[in-house]
Structure 1
Amino acid sequence: MSFKYQKLFEPMQIGNVTIKNRFAMAPMGPIGLGDSDGGFNQRGIDYYVERAKGGTGLIITGVCFVNNEVEPHEMPSTPSPTVNPVHFTRTAREMTERIHAYDGKVFIQLSAGFGRVSPPINPDVQPVSASPIMNRWADIPCRSLTKEEIRHIVKKFGEGAATAKNAGFDGVQIHAVHEGYLLDQFAISFFNNRTDEYGGSLENRLRFAREVVDEIKKTCGQDFVVTLRYSPKSFIKDWRVGGLPGEVFEEKGRDLPEGIETAKLLVKYGYDSLDVDVGCYDAWFWNHPPMYQKKGLYIPYAKAIKEAVSVPVICAGRMDNPDLALSALDDSACDIIGLGRPLLADADYVNKLRSNQTELIRPCLSCHEGCLGRMVHYGWLNCAVNPSCARERITALQPALKAKKVMIIGGGVAGCEAARVLRLRGHLPEIYEQSNRLGGNLIPGGMPDFKEDDHALAAWYENTLKDLQVPVYYNSPITPEMVTAANPDTVIIATGSTPKNISLGDDAKVFNAEDVLLGIKDPGEQVVVLGGGLVGCELALWLKNNGKDVSLVEAEDSLLKLNAPLCFANTDMLLSLISYNKINVYTESKAVRTTAQGVMLATPRGEQELKADAIVLAVGYCPKNSLYNALKFEVADIHLLGDARRVSNIMYAIWDAFEVASNI
Structure 2
Amino acid sequence: MTNTPQTSHTSYPRLLSPLALRNLTLRNRMVMGAMHTRLESMDRPVERIKAFYRARAEGEIGLIITGGISPNRAGRMEDDAPAMTADADLDWHRAIVDAVRGTDTQVCMQLLHAGRYAKFEGCVGPGTLRARINKYTPRALSTQEVRDTIADYARAAVMARDLGYHAVEIMGSEGYLINEFTAPCTNDRSDAFGGDFEGRIRFPIEIIQAVRQAVGPDFAIIYRISALDLVEGGMTGDETLELARRVVTAGADILNTGIGWHESDVPTVSHNVPRAGWAYAVRRIKAAVTIPVMASNRINEPAVAESILASGQADLVSMARPLLADPDFARKTRQGQAQRINTCIACNQACLDNIFKHKTATCLVNPRAGRELDWVTHPASLPKRIAVVGAGAAGMNFAFNAAERGHRVTLFEAGSEPGGQLCLARNVPGKTEFDEMLRYFRGRLTEEKVNLRLNCAVTAEHLASGNFDEVVLATGVRPRQPDLPGVHRSDVLRYDQVLSGAPVGERVVIIGAGAIAYDMVEFLLGDAPHTPPALADFAMEYGLDISAQSAGGRSPRPERLAARRQVTVLQRSERRPGASLAVTTGWIRRDKVLRFGVPILTGVTTQRIDDAGLHYTTLDGKLATLPFDTVILCAGQEPVRELEAQLHRTAPGLPVHVIGGADNAAELDARRAIEQASRLALAI
TM-score (norm 1): 0.91
Letter in 2 for 1:11: P
CA contact (8 A) 1:277 1:298 kept: no
| 1:379-407 C-alpha deviation (Å, 9 max, x unpaired) | 31111111110111211112111111111
2:675 aligned with 1:655, yes or no? yes
Deviates more, 1:275-284 or 1:58-67: 275-284
Listed as ranges, the matches of 1:577-592 within 5 Å are 577-592=592-607
Do the aligned partners of residues 371 and 426 (structure 1) sit closer, same or farther apart at CA in structure 2, a change above 3 Å counting?
same
Alignment match, 1:481:
461
Alignment partner of 1:614 out of 630, 634, 641: 630
Do the aligned partners of residues 138 and 68 (structure 1) sit closer, same or farther apart at CA in structure 2, a change above 3 Å counting?
closer
Measure, in 1, the Cα distance between the counterparts of 2:174 and 2:99. 31
2:125 aligned with 1:129, yes or no? yes
Alignment match, 2:316:
336
Alignment match, 2:326:
346
Do the aligned partners of residues 502 and 653 (structure 1) sit closer, same or farther apart at CA in structure 2, a change above 3 Å counting?
same
Do the aligned partners of residues 592 and 263 (structure 1) sit closer, same or farther apart at CA in structure 2, a change above 3 Å counting?
farther
Measure, in 1, the Cα distance between the counterparts of 2:465 and 2:42. 53
CA contact (8 A) 1:99 1:105 kept: yes
2:28 aligned with 1:33, yes or no? no
Listed as ranges, the matches of 1:63-102 within 5 Å are 63-69=68-74, 73-75=78-80, 77-78=81-82, 80-84=83-87, 87-88=89-90, 90-102=91-103
Alignment partner of 2:570 out of 553, 559, 564: 553
CA contact (8 A) 2:389 2:458 kept: yes
Alignment match, 2:28:
21
CA contact (8 A) 1:34 1:41 kept: no
Listed as ranges, the matches of 1:29-428 within 5 Å are 29-33=36-40, 41-69=46-74, 73-75=78-80, 77-78=81-82, 80-84=83-87, 87-88=89-90, 90-112=91-113, 114-120=114-120, 125-138=121-134, 140-175=136-171, 177-236=172-231, 251-283=232-264, 286-287=267-268, 289-428=269-408
Do the aligned partners of residues 70 and 544 (structure 1) sit closer, same or farther apart at CA in structure 2, a change above 3 Å counting?
closer
CA contact (8 A) 2:49 2:92 kept: no
Deviates more, 1:196-205 or 1:604-613: 604-613
Measure, in 1, the Cα distance between the counterparts of 2:267 and 2:211. 30
Structure 1: 5+ residue stretches without partners: 237-250
% same residue: 26
| Partner SS state of residue 293, structure 1 | coil
Alignment match, 1:630:
646
Measure, in 2, the Cα distance between the counterparts of 1:286 and 1:310. 30
Give the alignment's Cα RMSD to 1 decimal: 2.2
CA contact (8 A) 2:26 2:105 kept: yes
Do the aligned partners of residues 329 and 523 (structure 1) sit closer, same or farther apart at CA in structure 2, a change above 3 Å counting?
same
| Partner SS state of residue 20, structure 2 | strand
CA contact (8 A) 1:598 1:614 kept: no
Measure, in 2, the Cα distance between the counterparts of 1:187 and 1:433. 57
> How far is the alpha carbon of 1:607 from its aligned partner?
4.1
Do the aligned partners of residues 451 and 14 (structure 1) sit closer, same or farther apart at CA in structure 2, a change above 3 Å counting?
farther
| 1:343-373 C-alpha deviation (Å, 9 max, x unpaired) | 1011111111222222211122211111011
Measure, in 2, the Cα distance between the counterparts of 1:15 and 1:229. 18
> How far is the alpha carbon of 1:454 from its aligned partner?
1.8
| Partner SS state of residue 430, structure 2 | helix
Letter in 1 for 2:85: T
> How far is the alpha carbon of 1:213 from its aligned partner?
1.2
Do the aligned partners of residues 478 and 128 (structure 1) sit closer, same or farther apart at CA in structure 2, a change above 3 Å counting?
same
> How far is the alpha carbon of 1:428 from its aligned partner?
1.0
> Aligned residue pairs: how many?
633
Measure, in 2, the Cα distance between the counterparts of 1:104 and 1:587. 54
Measure, in 2, the Cα distance between the counterparts of 1:403 and 1:349. 30
CA contact (8 A) 1:430 1:470 kept: yes
Structure 2: 5+ residue stretches without partners: 1-7, 529-563
Measure, in 1, the Cα distance between the counterparts of 2:342 and 2:77. 38
Letter in 2 for 1:200: G
Deviates more, 1:219-228 or 1:625-634: 625-634
Measure, in 2, the Cα distance between the counterparts of 1:652 and 1:71. 31
Deviates more, 1:345-354 or 1:593-602: 593-602
Letter in 2 for 1:132: T
| Partner SS state of residue 561, structure 1 | coil
Deviates more, 1:315-324 or 1:93-102: 93-102
Do the aligned partners of residues 4 and 259 (structure 1) sit closer, same or farther apart at CA in structure 2, a change above 3 Å counting?
same
Measure, in 2, the Cα distance between the counterparts of 1:67 and 1:342. 30
CA contact (8 A) 2:495 2:632 kept: yes
Listed as ranges, the matches of 1:493-508 within 5 Å are 493-506=473-486, 507-508=489-490
Measure, in 1, the Cα distance between the counterparts of 2:425 and 2:143. 53
CA contact (8 A) 1:277 1:301 kept: no
| Partner SS state of residue 543, structure 1 | helix
Which of the pair has the greater relative contact order for Cα pairs under 8 Å at 6+ separation? 2
> How far is the alpha carbon of 1:504 from its aligned partner?
4.3
Measure, in 2, the Cα distance between the counterparts of 1:264 and 1:617. 56
Alignment match, 1:540:
521
Alignment partner of 2:449 out of 469, 481, 484: 469
Letter in 2 for 1:19: L
> How far is the alpha carbon of 1:635 from its aligned partner?
3.5
Letter in 1 for 2:261: C
> How far is the alpha carbon of 1:602 from its aligned partner?
3.2
